[in-house]
Amino acid sequence: MNRNQRIILAAIAALALAALLLGVALPQARVLIAERVALAQLGDPYVFGKAGPDTFDCSGLMKYAYGKAGVKLAHHTKTVANDGRYRTIEDPALLREGDLVFFDTLSGGSEIDHVGLWLGRGRFVHASSAAGEVIVSEFDEKWQKRFSWAKRVV
């Protein structure tokens, strides 16, 4: 972890503490931490099977970001997508910040193979194999067609 990432993580910890002291609900604080951790990885390389701290695949980034927020996720997209402990959101209009958004990018509708973290305002952060790095994408027509469902993990 480089110096800038350490500074960002220290700031995240301070934000979480401030949120708790100001009465922000713990789930909201966890979402804030997960978002900030994921965004701190922008530009980090995509490497299949990796969950940080410097390289990530899509589920590895989610595991890492939510792990820093105190939420344990499996390091496998399909496992998390089908985990009955978490509420399933099928309508993209109902997405909230922090939801994990699942996509079928390969088979045309029958297999979930990609996950990202919903940021709100029509955007999500994810480790993209196509881009070769962690990026933020717009939930545009391409992604809308590939959207399967989301999970609310906090």
Digit-coded pLDDT (tens) for 17-49: 666 565 555 678 899 999 999 999 999 999 999
State the pLDDT at residue 154. Answer: 86
Is cis: bond before 27, omega within 30 of 0?
no
Q: The domain spanning residue 115 has which CATH number?
A: 3.90.1720.10
Domain extent for 38 = 3-152
pLDDT for the residue numbered 83: 93
The residue from 30, 36, 63, 114 that is catalytic is 114
pLDDT in tens, 84-104: 999 999 999 999 999 999 999
Total domains in the fold of the chain = 1
Residue 56 pLDDT greater than 70, yes or no: yes
76 is catalytic: no
pTM listed for this prediction:
0.83
Give the residues across from 133 on adjacent strands.
Answer: 45, 128
Which is the catalytic residue, given 37, 51, 58, 71?
A: 58
pLDDT digits (tens, 9 = 90+) for 103-120: 999 876 668 999 999 999
Catalytic (active site) residue 114: yes
Identified catalytic residue from 126, 127, 135, 143: 126
